[in-house]
């Protein structure tokens, strides 16, 4: 999903339509082929953080080893292990220790996977995508995250070491009055999903600002690059649609699930997340309709400008017609022509060439032709 900086510069400044309309971006968005197993690059660095907590206390470990993460399974507190950076050996090791089925391990290591939810043995598994708005490229980036819920533990697998959306959640978790610490692991699971979904709205708000600015630009001064930017934003909406729509099925599956890991009392919280997802989907649809309307507005403006140009050219042609006719008459090769031997003949002809177009302009104005 990432575009190299030099490609982005070409997208902005070169008039080549192949680059201007983001053809490479199209390939990136639509390059998902389920029949081809993509190879994931092994992470150069893996950072593991963990929290063990209950209502009375919380312990935090930063940048711990894989072996230390495995030992946390023996904790009698609720445990949240977050792994930034994916390596096949690490995923298999921690998966085998915590009872994560090999098929789920494959999903964790997959690339460009569609959001999904699975229940295997004593594990509840969700795979969703986090969204980020790239301010430099004015595009939507996504990161795959896998969430595993077991008895008294939650494990999250993230691809990117440098960013996630859980910073505020970590801060709240350390508060003695934290509601998450007073509940079971499934409430933490809900909180993680809710945080991811809420961040969708932050990304969509930024994209909405771009759409509003574009709408003003179309009305003020539309150009070929305006049409290109409309096309670019439509591609970013494809990313939103591919990411957000399947999450509705994931949350719906959690609501309908009768898994013992999910407390019945927390069902209303998942319904709240479902409501947020429905709102996000509606917002994506609204943005898509807005862009379709803006494209129609752009084409209408182009046609209007063309009509204005044709109108001016037609008026100029009409205004020049009297001068052409008069000049043609007096340029005829006859021995006897009116005003030929008159002292003011030339000036009379010139005056006619000027006064007749002025009279025509007044008539056109009265009829409302311009």
Average of per-residue pLDDT values in the chain: 84
Residue bearing the bigger pLDDT, 37 or 350: 350
In this prediction, residues 324-347 reach a mean pLDDT of 74
pLDDT tens, 77-93?
999 999 999 999 999 99
In this prediction, residues 326-338 reach a mean pLDDT of 72
pLDDT tens, 284-317?
999 999 888 888 888 887 787 888 788 888 888 8
Decide if pLDDT at 254 tops 80: yes
Decide if pLDDT at 96 tops 80: yes
**What's residue 127's pLDDT?**
95
**What's residue 3's pLDDT?**
40
Decide if pLDDT at 154 tops 80: yes
**What's residue 22's pLDDT?**
57
189 pLDDT band, cuts 50/70/90, is: very high
In this prediction, residues 148-173 reach a mean pLDDT of 91
- The first and second tokens of residue 312, run together, are 């001016």
**What's residue 32's pLDDT?**
61
**What's residue 6's pLDDT?**
41
34 pLDDT band, cuts 50/70/90, is: low
Decide if pLDDT at 12 tops 60: no
Task: Give the Cβ contact number of residue 362 at 10 Å.
Answer: 10
Decide if pLDDT at 267 tops 80: yes
């Amino acid at each position: 999903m990432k575009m190299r900086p030099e490609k982005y510069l070409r997208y902005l400044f070169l008039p080549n339509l192949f680059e201007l309309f983001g053809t490479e971006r199209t390939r990136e968005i639509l390059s998902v082929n389920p029949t081809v197993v993509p190879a994931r690059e092994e992470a150069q660095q893996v950072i593991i953080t963990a929290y063990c907590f209950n209502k009375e206390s919380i312990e935090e470990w930063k940048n711990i080893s894989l072996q230390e993460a495995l030992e946390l399974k023996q904790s009698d507190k609720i445990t949240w292990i977050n792994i930034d950076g994916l390596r096949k050996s690490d995923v298999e090791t921690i998966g085998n220790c915590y009872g994560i089925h090999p098929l789920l391990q494959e999903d964790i290591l997959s690339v460009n996977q569609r959001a999904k939810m699975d229940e295997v043995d004593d594990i509840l598994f969700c795979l969703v995508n986090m969204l980020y708005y790239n301010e430099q490229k004015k595009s939507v980036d996504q990161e795959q995250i896998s969430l595993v819920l077991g008895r008294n533990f939650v494990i999250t697998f993230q691809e990117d070491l440098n960013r996630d959306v859980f910073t505020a959640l970590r801060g709240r978790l350390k508060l003695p009055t934290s509601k998450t610490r007073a509940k079971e692991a499934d409430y933490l699971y809900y909180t993680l999903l809710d945080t991811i979904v809420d961040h969708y709205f932050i990304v969509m708000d930024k994209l909405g600002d771009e759409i509003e600015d574009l709408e003003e630009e179309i009305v003020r001064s539309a150009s070929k690059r305006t049409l290109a930017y409309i096309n670019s934003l439509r591609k970013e909406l494809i990313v939103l649609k591919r990411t957000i729509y399947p999450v509705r099925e994931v949350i719906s599956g959690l609501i309908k699930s009768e898994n013992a890991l999910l407390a019945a009392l927390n069902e209303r919280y998942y319904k709240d997340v479902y409501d947020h997802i429905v709102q996000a989907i509606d917002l994506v649809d609204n943005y898509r309709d807005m862009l379709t309307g803006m494209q129609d507005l752009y084409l209408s403006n182009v046609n209007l400008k063309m009509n204005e140009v044709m109108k001016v050219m037609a008026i100029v042609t009409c205004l020049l017609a009297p001068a052409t006719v008069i000049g043609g008459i007096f340029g005829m090769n006859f021995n006897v022509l009116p005003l030929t031997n008159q002292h003011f003949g030339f000036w009379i002809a010139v005056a006619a060439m000027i006064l007749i177009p002025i009279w025509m302009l007044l008539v056109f104005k009265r009829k409302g032709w311009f």
